[in-house]
Amino acid sequence: MFVIVEIFLVWFGLRALFGGRARVFGRVLEGWAARLVGLLAAGPFFVVVTLGFIQGFTASRAGRSFHLEDYKDLAILEATLYAVCLAVAAVLTIVAGRAPSKPVNPEEEWKRLRAGGPVEGGVRLRSQDFMPPRR
C-alpha cells in the first residue's frame, strides 16, 4: 500500500518539478513554489533509494548477505523523511497557493471586450454582425 503512495508522490513531484505548475488541496501553485513542492514530494524516494543502494553495496563488499533487520533504520528514515517533507510541502501550499480562477467563457469575454473602451488596436467593435462563430 505504501508503495502505491510512493509511486504517486514521485509522479506528482516530477510533474510539478518539471512542469512548474501543481494543483494541491484545491489550490494552484505556479513557478518556484510548485517546483519546491515537487522536490519535497519526490525527494525522499530518491534519497532513500540512494542510501539503500549504498548500504547494500557496502554490505556486499564486506561479504555479508541480505538480512531485513539490517535495513530497519532505512524504513524509519523513509517514514520520517516523508512526514517532514510532506508537512513542509503542505505549509508551503497553504502559504504560496492561490485559489483557482474560474474558466473564461469566450462569448462573454467577446461581449465584454466589445462593450468596453478602446482595445489594443484602437478599434472598438459595437456591431452585432461581428459576433464570433459558435462552436
3-class SS of residue 78? helix
CB 96 within 8 A of CB 33: yes
Note the pLDDT of residue 102: 76
- The whole-number mean pLDDT for each consecutive block of 10 residues of the chain, a chain of 135 residues, reads 87 93 87 93 93 90 83 88 93 87 76 64 54 62
Q: Which residues pair with residue 22 across a beta bridge?
A: 29
Residues 6+ apart with CB under 8 A from 2: none
Sequence spans of domains, the chain: 2-96
